[in-house]
């Protein structure tokens, strides 16, 4: 084949990135044509500014009359996304979405696996990163240090045998945006010691907040250890059980309800739904 041009690469890289494609899609569908609308529909933690900047630089999106719209290149890029082969039912759509999210969970970039390095190595790496001179010019420096400090504390707790306190620690001190990624990191770190320890960390986290992606990890460990009943108890006694119930009851809770069924907690799903009625 002919060698891809720089434009071919740019288009393909946008299509290969789910976030870039999502923003392109939403603008193309005119579902969200302003950053404010996007934040209202998809939350404030999504790194929208970076993505829009990147799409504008690449010539995919432009601003016109205070609204975002696709350029010719953006329209062509979106059009090249394969159409669905058949109409899917709602449950198939949810299953497809779950599959895609689960695949991302397995290779989550914001959740570095530390299987290849020991906890001690990770602690040393964290400390040397923190000792590095502060670069005032870098606006993300304080965020980075905050993240490293919390990460270091998570590792120290696990190293010192306080795995059961990791969840409480994260629940109390962790900034919202790091909560999920550090929770998953803590489970991964503990897993390098033992399955039991990873499960203990996962249960401790669920006792504080029931995050669907943490739930996926916890269910894998619970199934492997034959301790799914402990996971069920952790969910029902969690401090976060009320918001979780509300989520299950909400129109947007399909994915989470399907997740509970998928991990074998159908009865719990029914119980929580009933109790919330």
Closer Cβ to another protein, 98 or 241, answer by number: 98
Q: Tell me which stretch binds another protein (CB under 8 A): 100-108, 196-204, 214-222, 224-232.
A: 100-108
**What are the distances in angstroms from CA 250 to CA 29, 114, 135, 180, 254?**
25, 36, 45, 21, 8
Site for another protein, residues 176 to 235, rule: CB under 8 A:
177
- Min dist CB 254 to another protein, Å, is 7
> Distance between CA atoms of 171 and 206, rounded to whole angstroms?
10
Q: Which of 169, 219, 229, 172 is nearest to 198 (CA)?
A: 219
> Distance between CA atoms of 51 and 45, rounded to whole angstroms?
13
Question: Residue 193, exposed/middle/buried by CB under 10 A (0-12, 13-18, 19+)?
Answer: middle
Site for another protein, residues 121 to 140, rule: CB under 8 A:
121, 125, 129, 132, 138, 140
The widest CA-to-CA distance across the chain, in whole angstroms, is 62
Choose, by CB under 8 A, the member of 108, 193, 239, 262 that binds another protein: 108
Q: From the centroid of its chain, how far is CA 219?
A: 16
Choose, by CB under 8 A, the member of 76, 79, 100, 102 that binds another protein: 100
Contact 271, 257 (CB under 8 A): no
C-alpha torsion sign, points 139, 44, 171, 99? negative
Q: Does 116 bind another protein (CB under 8 A)?
A: yes
Strand-pairing partners, residue 70, are 61
Contact 130, 145 (CB under 8 A): yes
Q: Does 254 bind another protein (CB under 8 A)?
A: yes
Choose, by CB under 8 A, the member of 64, 66, 72, 82 that binds another protein: 82
Q: Does 236 bind another protein (CB under 8 A)?
A: no
DSSP state of 250: S
Closer Cβ to another protein, 12 or 173, answer by number: 12
Q: Tell me which stretch binds another protein (CB under 8 A): 41-49, 68-76, 225-233, 265-273.
A: 41-49
Which residues neighbour 210 within 8 Å (Cβ) at sequence distance 6 or greater?
A: 235, 238, 240, 241, 243, 244
Closer Cβ to another protein, 128 or 274, answer by number: 128
Choose, by CB under 8 A, the member of 35, 76, 91, 96 that binds another protein: 96
Q: Which residues bind another protein (CB under 8 A)?
A: 1, 3-4, 6, 8-10, 12-13, 15-19, 21-22, 25-26, 29, 31, 40-43, 45-47, 50-51, 80-85, 88, 93-94, 96-97, 99-101, 104, 106-113, 116-117, 121, 125, 129, 132, 138, 140, 144, 147, 177, 250-252, 254-255
């Amino acid at each position: 084949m002919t060698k891809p041009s720089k434009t071919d690469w740019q288009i393909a890289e946008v299509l290969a990135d789910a976030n870039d494609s999502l923003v392109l899609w939403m603008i193309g569908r005119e579902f969200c044509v302003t950053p404010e609308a996007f934040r209202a529909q998809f939350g404030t933690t999504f790194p929208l500014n970076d993505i829009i900047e990147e799409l504008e630089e690449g010539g995919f999106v432009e601003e016109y009359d205070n609204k975002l719209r696709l350029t010719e290149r953006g329209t062509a890029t979106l059009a090249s996304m394969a159409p669905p082969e058949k109409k899917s039912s709602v449950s198939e759509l949810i299953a497809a979405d779950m599959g895609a999210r689960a695949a991302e969970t397995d290779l989550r970039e914001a959740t570095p696996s530390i299987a290849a390095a020991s906890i001690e190595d990770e602690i040393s790496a964290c400390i040397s990163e923190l000792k590095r001179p502060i670069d005032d010019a870098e606006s993300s420096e304080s965020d980075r240090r905050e993240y490293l400090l919390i990460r270091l504390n998570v590792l120290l707790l696990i190293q010192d045998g306080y795995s059961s306190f990791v969840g409480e620690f994260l629940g109390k001190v962790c900034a919202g945006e790091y909560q999920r990624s550090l929770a998953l990191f803590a489970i991964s770190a503990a897993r390098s010691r033992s399955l039991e320890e990873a499960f203990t960390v996962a249960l401790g986290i669920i006792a504080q907040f029931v995050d669907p992606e943490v739930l996926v990890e916890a269910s894998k460990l619970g199934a492997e250890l034959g301790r799914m009943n402990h996971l069920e108890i952790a969910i029902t006694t969690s401090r976060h059980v009320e918001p979780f119930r509300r989520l299950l009851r909400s129109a947007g809770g399909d994915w989470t309800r399907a997740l509970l069924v998928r991990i074998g907690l159908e009865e719990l799903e029914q119980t929580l739904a009933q109790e919330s009625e």
